[in-house]
Amino acid sequence: MTKEEPTHQGGWTQGVPAPRARWLTPALLLALLAATALALAAGSVSIPPIEVFRALLGHLNDDVTGRILLGTRLPRVFAAGLVGAALALSGLASQTLFRNPLASPSAIGVSNGAALGAVAGALLGARLNSVGYVFSTALSVSGGLVVTALVFMLGRRGRYFGHALLLAGIAIAALCSALTTAMLYLAGERLQSIVFWLLGGLWLATWREVWIVAPVTVVGLAAMVFWSRDLNVALLGERSARDLGLDLPRLQRRLLVLIAILASVAVSVSGVIGFIGLIVPHLARLVTGADHRRLILPTALGGALLLVLADTGARTLASPAEIPVGIFTAATGAPVFLWLLQKRRPAGAP
Amino acid sequence: MNLRIEGLNFAYQPGTPVLRDVSLEIGAGRVTGLFGPNGSGKSTLLRCLNGSLRPQAGRVWIGDRDAAKLSPREMARLIAVVSQDTPVSLPFTALEVVLLGRYPHGELWQADSLEDIGFARECLARLDVADLWERHFDQLSGGERQRVIVARALAQQAPVMLWDESTSHLDIKHQLGLYRLARELAAEDRAVVMVCHDLFLAPLFADQAVLMKAGSAFAMGSAAEVLRPVNLSRAFSVNMTLSWPANDSIAVSLKNI
């Protein structure tokens, strides 16, 4: 019997559930508030913090500053926070679903499916009015859901739920990318704006986007908190989960739907923003440990914080131009991820 | 709680039965050793007992309840399983793994109570891994992981325990520890079923033995009766004699070594 190999092969970043975990959520909330204030103050027109407060209290409503703040920056900051939380949560849900620390919605092709739907919507001339807008969002979400359903049907034939599903996801993701590229080829004069959107960014975010993402993110968060003990048991794998009384196939179906909806709604608002879904759950796990009851809230808040900061950087660093935030998160996320990989193998230490 | 198995038949694929008409009575307060060659259906039998496999025919009674009518959660409160394929990689600490054993008793997202945590640490202590509670599961040795998994099953507080080769990675001290634990649990009026390949120690601790061969319960009774040379040779095709000079010793002799 040598099926059990020695240690360090999980690849999960871990943390001892220390008392640190207790102040993490309040600290992240404070940091998120501070980041929001910063994001509102910074921009091509810089607004002093005191004015920001006055505007939020309704004292500055009808001058230019007020309109920039309440009409442009505030919805954008909200959208960034909500999309960040949705991405981080869908990343965590994917990692738990596949019991694979490298899983993310992109890995099962959801993001690519949603992007394909959104590009199709853009080519069909949607986003011109609110009917077209709803149509475009619906197209994007259905792209994500169709891909998930397809991946699920192809993947569950395999003996091991995770492996076959991930492989099917990679194949379908590649197919969706090819179709998206083909559409870009046909895009003509709209090519630039679509490519820019695909790179990921929040400059289109208005209150309308906020009202779409907010309920989805809140429901997703509530569902995951509600299932947090089930998610812990799911990490044990099919047999042990069943032995402990969890109906794992049912949870897996629910998680797939949840991931599909969270990720596709995020994509429909902001294009494809990488690395948040992959990295934020890892960072949170470093502090809280893997117990979902402690992990979910910090993951959501951390995702929100990260994207609010990244978006603020993306629109101010090269102001008046904008760096697509997807490039920004990938450029900062990849080194962080490599650092995490290094960190979990201390030489010689247990 | 007694287990009664009536005419169990199971096949993963039609035409190749893995269990053929198995009927057994497993009493509370006793340790039952389940012996048999590889592929004789021992693990499959355990998985049918706790409902994770549905037999094509036959019934399993847990006390006076029909196992087929229990939800997975109800089942997990009655039967705790230590399966053969325990996960190698888990992002939890040893204590967190044991606390997962409280899952069938808890509600939704609620936090672990202080009683739960205290109880989980007791379970770790019973398996001699109390000091490891803070260590990550990934960083434990194979034997330590196995004991943590048994502690998790203890934390389920189920009246029936099914152990599938739980001693396979353990050194001699901890093998004995686990067999003694089986006796203790039986003394608490639980039914303990252990699947073992160990024919030299396990029989000393088993109140009754069942020998499986090609999906049937080939022989059952006391360990000395069941593990007679004629049975061993028929089940394992090995010419070997086990003799019991006393209650606490077994001697082995092989015909051709």
Domain limits at B199?
3-254
Q: Of A7, A237, A285, which is closest to B91 when you measure between CB atoms? A: A285
Cα dihedral B44→B144→B89→B110 (10° resolution): 90
pLDDT value at position B112? 84
Residues of B in contact with A1 (CB under 8 A): 168-169
| CA atoms within 13 Å, Cβ hemisphere of A182 | 8
CA distance to partner chain A, nearest, from residue B141 (Å)? 7
The arithmetic mean of pLDDT across residues A40-56, rounded, is: 79
CATH topology of domain A71-340: ABC transporter involved in vitamin B12 uptake, BtuC (1.10.3470)
pLDDT, tens digit (0-9, with 9 covering 90-100), for A260-311:
999 999 988 888 888 899 889 988 988 888 899 999 999 999 999 999 999 9
Cα dihedral A109→A114→A120→A125 (10° resolution): -160
Q: Is the pLDDT of residue A10 over 70?
A: no
For chain A, domain boundaries: 71-340
Give the Cα separation of B149 and A233 in Å (integer). Answer: 13
Residues of B in contact with A10 (CB under 8 A): 88-91, 138
pLDDT value at position A328? 82
Indicate the range of A38-47, A217-226, A232-241, B123-132 predicted with least confidence.
A38-47
Cβ separation A9–B138 shorter than 8 A? yes
pLDDT value at position A60? 61
Return phi, psi of residue A227, to 5°. -95, 15
CATH number of the domain where residue B46 is located = 3.40.50.300
Which residues sit opposite B209 in a β-bridge? B33, B221
With an 8 Å Cβ cutoff, the interface of chain B facing chain A consists of: 50, 52, 71-77, 80-81, 83, 85-93, 96, 100-101, 103-104, 106, 108-111, 134, 136, 138-142, 145, 156, 168-169
Q: Of B72, B88, B90, which is closest to A245 when you measure between CB atoms? A: B72
CA distance to partner chain B, nearest, from residue A99 (Å)? 9
Tell me the pLDDT of chain B (257 aa) as tens digits.
889 999 999 999 988 999 999 999 999 999 999 999 999 999 999 999 988 899 999 999 999 999 999 999 999 999 999 988 777 778 899 999 999 999 999 887 778 888 899 999 999 999 999 999 988 898 898 889 999 999 999 999 999 999 998 888 889 999 999 999 999 999 999 999 999 888 888 899 999 999 999 999 989 999 889 999 999 999 998 888 888 887 788 888 887 77
pLDDT tier at A126, thresholds 50, 70, 90:
low
Residue of A nearest to B49 (CA): A243
Residue A235 at interface with chain B, using a CB cutoff of 8 Å = yes
CA distance to partner chain B, nearest, from residue A298 (Å)? 15
The three-state secondary structure class of A102 is: coil
Helices H / strands E in chain B, number of each: 9, 12
pLDDT, tens digit (0-9, with 9 covering 90-100), for A153-163:
777 665 556 67
Cβ separation B83–A243 shorter than 8 A? yes
CA distance to partner chain B, nearest, from residue A213 (Å)? 24
Residue A102 at interface with chain B, using a CB cutoff of 8 Å = no
Residue A22 makes CB contacts below 8 A (sequence gap 6+) with: none
CA distance to partner chain B, nearest, from residue A244 (Å)? 5
ipTM of the complex: 0.90
Which tokens sit at A269? 């608002």
Q: How far is CA A228 from the centre of its chain?
A: 19
* DSSP letters for B101-169: GGGGGS-TTPPPPHHHHHHHHHHHHHTT-GGGTTSBGGGS-HHHHHHHHHHHHHHTT-SEEEEESTTTT
Amino acid at residue number A314: A
Residue of A nearest to B103 (CA): A244
pLDDT, tens digit (0-9, with 9 covering 90-100), for A183-227:
888 877 778 777 877 788 888 888 988 998 999 999 999 999 999
Give the Cα separation of B82 and B73 in Å (integer). Answer: 16
pLDDT value at position A5? 37
Q: Of A4, A8, A16, which is closest to B93 when you measure between CB atoms? A: A16
Task: Look at chain B and report how many structural domains it folds into.
Answer: 1
pLDDT, tens digit (0-9, with 9 covering 90-100), for A159-185:
556 677 778 888 888 999 899 888 888
Residue of A nearest to B94 (CA): A16
Give the burial class of A138: count Cβ atoms within 10 A of its Cβ; 0-12 exposed, 13-18 middle, 19 or more buried: middle
Closest Cα partner for B138 from B87, B84, B81? B87
- Find which of B44, B62, B92 to mutate to test the A interface (most A CBs within 10 Å of its CB): B92
pLDDT value at position A343? 66
Which tokens sit at B76? 């997990």
Which tokens sit at A6? 């020695």
Give the Cα separation of A119 and A129 in Å (integer). Answer: 16
Which residues sit opposite B189 in a β-bridge? none
Q: Of B75, B93, B106, which is closest to A17 when you measure between CB atoms? A: B93
CA distance to partner chain B, nearest, from residue A58 (Å)? 39
Record the pTM: 0.88
Assess contact for B186 and B208: CB atoms under 8 A: no
Give the Cα separation of B138 and A289 in Å (integer). Answer: 13
Cβ separation B91–A12 shorter than 8 A? yes
Instruction: Looking at mean pLDDT, say which of A124-133, A315-324, B130-139 comes out highest.
Output: B130-139
Q: Of A7, A17, A245, which is closest to B103 when you measure between CB atoms? A: A245
Q: Would you tell me how many other CB atoms lie within 10 Å of the CB of residue A134? A: 13
Q: Of B81, B87, B91, which is closest to A237 when you measure between CB atoms? A: B87
Residues of B in contact with A286 (CB under 8 A): none
CA distance to partner chain A, nearest, from residue B245 (Å)? 31
pLDDT value at position A327? 82
pLDDT value at position A138? 83
Which residues sit opposite B57 in a β-bridge? B9
